Amino acid sequence: MRRWNGWGDEANDMPLPEHGQQFVAERIGAGQHLPDASLAQVLEQVPASRLVAHPLVVLDAEDRVRHARGQSLPDWLAVREGRFGVFPDGVAYPQSAEDIRALLAYAQEHDVIVIPYGGGTSVAGHINPDESAKPVLTVSLERMTQLTDLDTESQLATFGPGVNGPQVEAQLRAKGYTLGHFPQSWELSTLGGWVASRSSGQQSLRYGRIEQLFAGGTLETFAGPLEIPTIPASSAGPDLREVVLGSEGRFGIISEVKVRVTPLAEQENFYAVFLPSWQQALGAIRALTQAKVPLSMLRLSNAIETETQLALAGHPAEIGLLEKYLKLRGAGEGKCMLMFGLTGNRTQNAASYKQVKRLCKPYRGVFTGTILGRKWAEKRFRLPYLRETLWQAGYVVDTLETATDWCNVDSLLNKIETSLRDALKDEGERVHVFTHLSHVYGQGSSIYTSYVYRPGGDYATALARWKKLKYATSELIVRNRGTISHQHGVGADHAPYLPIEKGPLGIATLKALAKHFDPEQRLNPGKLLQD
């Protein structure tokens, strides 16, 4: 059963080794546990629905609670405290494009706001209803999960939009294929959501971002269906796929997605290399990327993240041995872990491995084989469960991410870390901050920063601290040539910063598109664009 007030399935967790908890306490102080509300308490708050009955619309209170919030930190705090504020007036579960069109017609007829809902994994407030004079209908696509066509010659698969990561891969693997799209939210997030929010997976280096995987499909809009044919590449005017990608439910509801798939690879391994310093590590990852070595993943942790990961890994004896070995080979304090993936046929992988060795040599990389990589691969989708674990231990964890050109990566990363580390100084609070680069391009890299802080004595303090951390750092990112989001989208939380990135005419262009597809502005108001 999926947790109503946290990440993932109740049967799963990500335990913190005792040493790990101590590690955090040493850095920012003892944990401060806040009391959780129960589902029963929340259900009592759900007001009567304002929606007119419709066969596809469910008005049940628990459905409305379970679709009211995503996974942003404010969502987390609201849900744990049991202060939801606003609930959708109902949830619809369409099973076809016709159902979606019927729901849009219903919304138009009865003056209803519509929020498309995929896996509910947004960390930027994409699916939260706002206070509104009009009733709000959340349209969950969870019943549209079928692989309806697989063209093996063109390597194209057609899916319903609500299919989640495991469902995508299970259906493709049965036929020898993979989509290769593995965001950290993969267990719950959906194909339609990935497209709507321009998602990027951990192996985008091989498979591409969702922009490269999305070949076509249909967006149901208030102006009619936008049907995008699958064409491998075209110079026939602006690419309309790009209007669907990143539309975040503002332009329409995706009813069908066609994606480019790949036959399962002969071989896949993840390796860990340690670089003696951050500057050497940066040099190595840039060299590997710009040499276009056909790798499937590159992920570089800075020194604090490397230290944190090794501390939280458990097995302190084994890790101690590893660190001794690394020190002997020149990677002691300040070392940075670089993980790389090789996916493909054996000939190609062997050639790529040789190149990685050669390109890392000037930066004094110490290779440690596949053990750490295997552990990473096993736990790659478990990290979101850590928020629950840390919460139980009395800590709050959140992340911030961006991307920028290589010439700006180091500078922006330092600014972000400093901004977060110092944000609660006035309260005498420390923040534990660490960073990795996990999506790299010839031109630049993503920057993904995690931060752990103490909630204080109550929920109001926890949220106030988050706002201090988030707002100043978001402003800093867009003022310093970073994107407000490399992989999480805009939603409500990032919308105030988008105008700096897109410029006045850019924002006006997106508004013109929203108006074009949704003249009465019923779709997901306040998300992506503030008005």
Q: Is 177 labelled as part of a ligand binding site?
A: no
| Burial of 233 per CB tally in 10 Å (0-12, 13-18, 19+) | exposed
Q: Is 330 labelled as part of a ligand binding site?
A: no
Query: Which of 510, 523, 525, 526 contacts its own copies by CB under 8 A?
Result: 510
Sequence length of the chain is 531
Closest CB to its own copies among residues 407, 460: 407
* Cα three-residue angle 400-402-404, rounded to 5 degrees: 150
Please state the closest distance from residue 189 (CB atom) to its own copies, in A: 13
φ, ψ for residue 147, nearest 5 deg: -80, 110
The footprint of its own copies on this chain (CB under 8 A) covers a number of residues equal to: 95
Query: Which of 41, 345, 414, 418 contacts its own copies by CB under 8 A?
Result: 345
Please state the closest distance from residue 202 (CB atom) to its own copies, in A: 14
Q: What is the H or E stretch that residue 416 is in?
A: helix 406-422
**DSSP reduced 3-state for 507:** helix
Q: Is 394 labelled as part of a ligand binding site?
A: no
- How many Å apart are CA 527 and CA 325, to the nearest integer? 50
Query: Which of 119, 444, 525, 526 contacts its own copies by CB under 8 A?
Result: 444
Closest CB to its own copies among residues 49, 404: 404
Q: Which residues pair with 272 in a beta bridge?
A: 339
Query: Which of 17, 29, 31, 294 contacts its own copies by CB under 8 A?
Result: 294
Q: Is 387 labelled as part of a ligand binding site?
A: yes
Angle between helices 459-479 and 73-81 (to 10 degrees): 170
Selecting among 448, 451, 453, 459, the annotated active-site residue is 448
In the sheet that 253-260 helps form, which strands lie side by side, from edge to edge? 147-151, 156-159, 253-260, 214-221, 224-228
Closest CB to its own copies among residues 321, 407: 407
Q: Of 135-143, 191-199, 367-375, 384-392, which segment contacts its own copies by CB under 8 A? A: 191-199
Note the maximum CA span of the chain: 72
Q: Is 122 labelled as part of a ligand binding site?
A: yes
Q: Scanning residues 231 to 290, which ones bind its own copies (CB under 8 A)?
A: 231-240, 242-243, 245-248, 260, 262-263, 286, 290
Query: Which of 111, 151, 333, 520 contacts its own copies by CB under 8 A?
Result: 151
71 binds its own copies (CB under 8 A): no
Closest CB to its own copies among residues 81, 248: 248
- How many Å apart are CA 469 and CA 464, to the nearest integer? 9
Locate the DSSP E strands across 57-208: 57-58, 90-92, 113-117, 136-140, 147-151, 156-159, 177-178
Nearest CA to 138 out of 120, 159, 160 is that of 120
Q: Are 466 and 396 in contact (CB under 8 A)?
A: yes
Question: Mask: binding to its own copies, 197-236, rule CB under 8 A, as x and -?
Answer: xxxx-----x--x-x---x-----x-xxxxxxxxxxxxxx
Active site residue 363: no
531 binds its own copies (CB under 8 A): no
- Which amino acid, one-letter code, is at 424? L
Q: Which residues pair with 398 in a beta bridge?
A: 451
DSSP annotation string for 248-261: TTSS-EEEEEEEE-
Q: Of 64-72, 373-381, 430-438, 439-447, which segment contacts its own copies by CB under 8 A? A: 439-447
Query: Which of 153, 378, 426, 531 contacts its own copies by CB under 8 A?
Result: 153
Q: Is 314 labelled as part of a ligand binding site?
A: no
Residues 6+ apart with CB under 8 A from 138: 64, 67, 68, 88, 90, 91, 92, 114, 115, 117, 127, 129
Q: Is 118 labelled as part of a ligand binding site?
A: yes
Please state the closest distance from residue 5 (CB atom) to its own copies, in A: 26
Query: Which of 41, 148, 267, 443 contacts its own copies by CB under 8 A?
Result: 443
Q: Of 61-69, 112-120, 126-134, 444-452, which segment contacts its own copies by CB under 8 A? A: 444-452
166 binds its own copies (CB under 8 A): no
Q: Scanning residues 100 to 119, which ones bind its own copies (CB under 8 A)?
A: none
Q: Scanning residues 375 to 414, which ones bind its own copies (CB under 8 A)?
A: 403-408
**DSSP reduced 3-state for 86:** coil
Closest CB to its own copies among residues 184, 308: 184
Q: Is 28 labelled as part of a ligand binding site?
A: no
461 binds its own copies (CB under 8 A): no
Q: Are 364 and 275 in contact (CB under 8 A)?
A: yes
482 binds its own copies (CB under 8 A): yes
In the DSSP assignment, the letter for residue 128 is P
- Which amino acid, one-letter code, is at 51? L
- How many Å apart are CA 90 and CA 490, to the nearest integer? 24
Active site (catalytic) residues: 448
Numbered residues of the known binding site for FAD: 116-122, 248-254
Numbered residues of the known binding site for substrate: 387
Numbered residues of the known binding site: 116-122, 248-254, 387
